[in-house]
A and B are shown apart, each in its own frame.
Chain A
Amino acid sequence: MKFSIDSHAPAETLRSRFCVGYLLGILCFVTPAQAEDFTAELADFDLQELLEVDLVYGASKFEQKTAEAPASISIIRSAEIKQMGYQTLADALSSVRGFYSTFDRHYHYSGARGFGRPGDYNTRLLVLVDGHRVNDNLYSAAPVGNDFVLDLEMVDRIEVIRGPGSSLYGTSAMFGVINVVTKTAEQVDAVSVAGTVGSFGARNGAFQFGKALKSDVDIVLSGSFYRSDGQTLFFEEFNKVESNDGLAEQNDDEAYEKLFGKLNWNNLDLQFRYSSREKTVPTAPWGTVFNHPGNGTDETHIQADLTHKQELGTKWHLQTSLGFHQIVGDEAYVYDYSEDSTPDLSVWQENFDGIVWLGAAQFGGVLSDQSRLTAGLELGLSSRENQSNSDEEATYLDSRGSSTDWGVYGEYEFKPAQEVILNLGARYDHHENFGGTTNPRAALIYNPRDGRAIKLLYGQAFRAPNAYELSYHDGGFTSKASGMLGPETIQTWEVVWEEYLGRNLFLTVGGFRYEIRDLISQTTDPEDELLLFVNVDAADADGLEFELKRQWTAGPTGRVSYGYQETKDGRTGEALSNAPKHLARLGFSLPVRDPSLVAGLEFSYSGGRRTLGGAETSSAFLTNLTVTKSRLFDRLDVSASVYNLFDVLYEHPGFEEHSQDTIEQDGRQLRLKTSYSF
């Protein structure tokens, strides 16, 4: 069992390394800037970037300035993603206040506001791509790691809209809505290929194509593949002769393929997203055989959405859309049933296949100089909810289900005075599994002067029980189906102060409190010792968030943030597992000499996290450095990144299925990326 572990380097060495890096950073800041020519960079900026105004779409389903939106919002732009070297959506989210990620060498999980229990899938964060729901219909989970449905290269910006979003989006929008906005054909405007190599035999190839054709047709296409050999990992819990002395060799490989396309013709938008990812799991969860390459997972997402936008006069619009989303895959686990030293191996197979048809209609517009309305209707026909498991002896679960859900929502924005905005919204959802739920949201926003916004927010949100929680079982070995479950609910109260301090400095300070009830958790039925999902838990949290952002028109940008959150089990009052109390981060990118050469440096601190075994991981202080050179010989973009620069040893809490109380995370890794534009 691993408890608090000293990092590879003792604390004093870390602190001195940090100080050196920090001072270097300051030197870069205070070195007098020559009259640099940023014209070439500025030519690629769009209006928003030139005006340094962040617009957000996902907060109210219409575009508005973040200062007027009914939520605490962070926007991560594509330049930041590139310059800071973020590889996954989870990395990008961890860069903003209040978010942290967890990795169990199987999937990546994003926690928000102190909530990310070991074993919870990303079900309480709603992830959208251009407004389309990515969370699947079986596990309500959103992929945020290498399994995400598209390459970060194709992302124009990520809208992180904190807080309850069910008043517009329905289920899963409990802690926030993450709207990933993709680049337009005009923004891509090129044909390019890219290649990446990195540590542990990681290699990736990708292509991008974007063209705005004359006849009002825009096309964007991108594809990529990835292979990684993974690492040889050591687990103390398996440090015995019969389990290879704790070494998992060739057990950590990963591969994915992705394809993304957008076709826009006048008012019609067609988008498809495909991603397929496999990973071998080295941790031997669920008591499976250690160091066996047969333990692994394979998951594919296929999503297609067709949207039509119609202007009705100058003030109103109507948008209708149709979507087909599928999640399909399998997991294999190798068990050894022998009583003696002769292995008696048996493969346990899990299969899942879920299909949902989505239909939506949304209309909105301006009622008067002071008021605006958005309203809509959404329908989800989950036509396939298949889950099965079996081994060579028998099939234990063969569940085929279907369900229907629908929701109707409205949001009304009213400006009783120049400086005051009142935003009220509510949505009624009906899920076949449990009935109806209504979730309101209210926001009072005060803009006493240009550059200052004070927001008072209240909202309710929910998460519907999914097919996995309702119907999954393993034939009575360890679990049984739950059958009946109600929704989880959350209430959030928030105060946010946003201020433009002058000289491109933006400050955001906020406080929140939330209460979750009827949290669905796996518990053991004392009668038969079997696990099942029950609406049994509760959680309460209080927190403070602070962020200072420096956004120049061109040149150095920086973000320093701090989040304090205290999350407690609502029934016992105990601190929740995997909930760091302190999260701090400093990230900045600056041009080195020449605007086409940029260095991105990120320091992040995460407080210790409580494990399921009752221990606490040590706090982690990590440093990432990325250097990008654009337009080398006019057509090449090159970037070199070092992640966990000081090779700090840190862990994340293990889940119920792991023998390990903590799982060691990666040490120093390198990545070199080159892309060529035709």
Chain B
Amino acid sequence: MKILSLVLFLTLILVSRSVGQEFDRTIEGQVKAAFLYNFTKFVVWPENSFEDPTAPVRIGVIGDNDLLQHLETVVEGKTVRGRPVVVSQLETLELPDYCHVAFVAQVPTESEWEAIAKLTDRSVLVVGHAPGFASRGGVINFVPNGTQMHLEINPTAAERRRLQISSRLLSLATLVSDPD
């Protein structure tokens, strides 16, 4: 029986090596969509970020059409603190007036980095997926680690934007700071 368990163990390892890789890459976009929705549950925006008490939470995606579809599936029928969640595609970083989460899907170009830096006074949760994103103006960064997804969060950047991030979300992420 001990031999059997050993066989099972080895098989599980072998099997995982052959399947794991491709599988996770295809769902990366789906995972990020789920994260973006989840972030809205752990962030509190200042009072004046919403037109009225029933106004929706708006997530804007810059640069990735597939992700938009996944996000639409994820947020359908869901509410965050009584507010519905609405998703839209944005062409540029010129954010509309009531935008709560902005996801920069591709690695930013130089001009995009500048635009991000200029957003510091807007109460928008800026999320990205590029090295150093959270130290260069963004608040949250996706950091793939093998087949897991890790998060980097810059608490100072959040504070500057008057965003309150729950300690639960902070405790699950790696905290980074602005460059000196």
Residue of A nearest to B34 (CB): A42
Given that A29-B19, A504-B148 are known contacts, is A47 also in contact with B8, CB under 8 Å in the complex?
Answer: no
Q: Quick check: A503 and B1 within 8 Å, CB to CB?
A: no
User: Which of B27, B33, B146 makes the CB contact (< 8 A) with A503?
Assistant: B146
Interface size range of chain B in the complex:
35 or more
Q: Which of A40-65 contact B (CB under 8 A)?
A: 40, 42-43, 45-48, 50-53, 55, 63
Produce 1/0 per residue, B157-180, CB < 8 A to A. Answer: 000000000001101100000000
Cα(A610)–Cα(B78), bound, Å: 55
Given that A29-B19, A63-B171 are known contacts, is A50 also in contact with B27, CB under 8 Å in the complex?
Answer: no
State how many angstroms separate the Cβ of B75 from the closest Cβ of chain A.
8
When distances are taken between beta carbons in the complex, the residues of chain B under 8 Å from A39 are: 30, 33-34, 70, 73-74
Cα(A37)–Cα(B69), bound, Å: 11
Q: Is A548 an interface residue (CB 8 A)?
A: yes
Cα(A586)–Cα(B18), bound, Å: 19
User: Which of B2, B26, B38, B81 makes the CB contact (< 8 A) with A35?
Assistant: B26
Cα(A503)–Cα(B149), bound, Å: 11
User: Which of B9, B30, B146, B168 makes the CB contact (< 8 A) with A37?
Assistant: B30
* A379-387, A408-416, A550-558 - the one binding chain B: A550-558
Q: Is B109 an interface residue (CB 8 A)?
A: no
For the complex, would chain B's binding face be called helix, strand, loop or mixed by DSSP majority? helix
Cα(A584)–Cα(B19), bound, Å: 24
Residue of A nearest to B69 (CB): A39
Residue of B nearest to A553 (CB): B31
Q: Which of B4-39 contact A (CB under 8 A)?
A: 4-5, 8-9, 11-13, 15-24, 26-27, 30-31, 33-35, 37-38
When distances are taken between beta carbons in the complex, the residues of chain A under 8 Å from B116 are: none
Q: Is B45 an interface residue (CB 8 A)?
A: no
Q: Is A209 an interface residue (CB 8 A)?
A: no
State how many angstroms separate the Cβ of B54 from the closest Cβ of chain A.
10
Q: Is A582 an interface residue (CB 8 A)?
A: yes
Produce 1/0 per residue, A662-674, CB < 8 A to B. Answer: 0000000000000
Cα(A660)–Cα(B26), bound, Å: 57
When distances are taken between beta carbons in the complex, the residues of chain B under 8 Å from A47 are: 35, 38, 42, 168-169, 172
State how many angstroms separate the Cβ of B170 from the closest Cβ of chain A.
11
Q: Which of B101-156 contact A (CB under 8 A)?
A: 145-151
Residue of B nearest to A314 (CB): B167
Q: Which of B41-87 contact A (CB under 8 A)?
A: 42, 70, 73-75, 78, 81-82
Q: Quick check: A607 and B12 within 8 Å, CB to CB?
A: no
Cα(A36)–Cα(B17), bound, Å: 19
Q: Quick check: A503 and B151 within 8 Å, CB to CB?
A: no
- Which of A35, A42, A45, A584 has the most chain B CB atoms closer than 10 A to its own CB? A42
When distances are taken between beta carbons in the complex, the residues of chain A under 8 Å from B148 are: 51-52, 504
- Which of B17, B20, B21, B81 has the most chain A CB atoms closer than 10 A to its own CB? B20
Q: Quick check: A582 and B34 within 8 Å, CB to CB?
A: no
Residue of B nearest to A550 (CB): B16
Given that A35-B26, A39-B74 are known contacts, is A45 also in contact with B34, CB under 8 Å in the complex?
Answer: yes
Q: Quick check: B22 and A33 within 8 Å, CB to CB?
A: yes
State how many angstroms separate the Cβ of A423 from the closest Cβ of chain B.
17
Q: Quick check: A503 and B42 within 8 Å, CB to CB?
A: no
Cα(A111)–Cα(B130), bound, Å: 49
Cα(A178)–Cα(B159), bound, Å: 38
Q: Quick check: B37 and A43 within 8 Å, CB to CB?
A: yes
User: Which of A43, A48, A503 makes the CB contact (< 8 A) with B21?
Assistant: A503
State how many angstroms separate the Cβ of A618 from the closest Cβ of chain B.
12
Interface size range of chain A in the complex:
35 or more
Q: Quick check: A548 and B13 within 8 Å, CB to CB?
A: yes
Q: Is A562 an interface residue (CB 8 A)?
A: yes
Q: Quick check: B73 and A43 within 8 Å, CB to CB?
A: yes
When distances are taken between beta carbons in the complex, the residues of chain A under 8 Å from B13 are: 501, 505, 548
Q: Quick check: B8 and A26 within 8 Å, CB to CB?
A: no
Residue of A nearest to B74 (CB): A43
Given that A42-B33, A43-B34 are known contacts, is A51 also in contact with B172, CB under 8 Å in the complex?
Answer: yes
Cα(A504)–Cα(B13), bound, Å: 10
When distances are taken between beta carbons in the complex, the residues of chain A under 8 Å from B8 are: 22, 560, 584, 586
When distances are taken between beta carbons in the complex, the residues of chain A under 8 Å from B5 are: 560, 562, 584, 586, 605
Q: Quick check: B31 and A42 within 8 Å, CB to CB?
A: yes
When distances are taken between beta carbons in the complex, the residues of chain B under 8 Å from A505 are: 12-13, 16
Given that A47-B169, A51-B150 are known contacts, is A30 also in contact with B15, CB under 8 Å in the complex?
Answer: yes
When distances are taken between beta carbons in the complex, the residues of chain A under 8 Å from B9 are: 546, 548, 560, 562
Q: Quick check: A50 and B34 within 8 Å, CB to CB?
A: yes
Given that A35-B26, A502-B146, A584-B1 are known contacts, is A29 also in contact with B15, CB under 8 Å in the complex?
Answer: yes
State how many angstroms separate the Cβ of A142 from the closest Cβ of chain B.
29
Residue of B nearest to A46 (CB): B38
Cα(A554)–Cα(B24), bound, Å: 9
Residue of A nearest to B7 (CB): A22
Q: Quick check: A51 and B149 within 8 Å, CB to CB?
A: yes
When distances are taken between beta carbons in the complex, the residues of chain A under 8 Å from B149 are: 50-51, 553
State how many angstroms separate the Cβ of B16 from the closest Cβ of chain A.
5
Q: Quick check: B27 and A553 within 8 Å, CB to CB?
A: yes
State how many angstroms separate the Cβ of A541 from the closest Cβ of chain B.
19
When distances are taken between beta carbons in the complex, the residues of chain B under 8 Å from A553 are: 24, 27, 31, 147, 149
Residue of B nearest to A213 (CB): B82
State how many angstroms separate the Cβ of B74 from the closest Cβ of chain A.
4
Given that A32-B22, A50-B149, A63-B171 are known contacts, is A40 also in contact with B73, CB under 8 Å in the complex?
Answer: yes
* 24 intermolecular pairs with C-beta atoms under 8 Å apart: A29-B15, A29-B19, A35-B26, A38-B27, A42-B33, A43-B73, A43-B75, A45-B38, A46-B38, A47-B38, A47-B169, A50-B31, A50-B149, A503-B146, A552-B20, A553-B149, A554-B30, A555-B23, A560-B8, A560-B12, A562-B9, A584-B2, A586-B8, A605-B1
Excluding A504-B24, A605-B1, 19 further A-B contacts by CB distance (< 8 Å) are A26-B15, A30-B15, A33-B22, A33-B23, A33-B26, A35-B26, A42-B30, A42-B74, A45-B38, A47-B38, A50-B35, A502-B147, A553-B27, A558-B12, A560-B9, A560-B12, A562-B2, A582-B1, A586-B5
B residues near A (Cβ < 8 Å) are 1-2, 4-5, 8-9, 11-13, 15-24, 26-27, 30-31, 33-35, 37-38, 42, 70, 73-75, 78, 81-82, 145-151, 168-169, 171-172
A residues near B (Cβ < 8 Å) are 22, 26, 29-30, 32-33, 35-40, 42-43, 45-48, 50-53, 55, 63, 214, 450, 501-505, 546, 548, 550, 552-556, 558, 560, 562, 582, 584, 586, 605, 607, 619
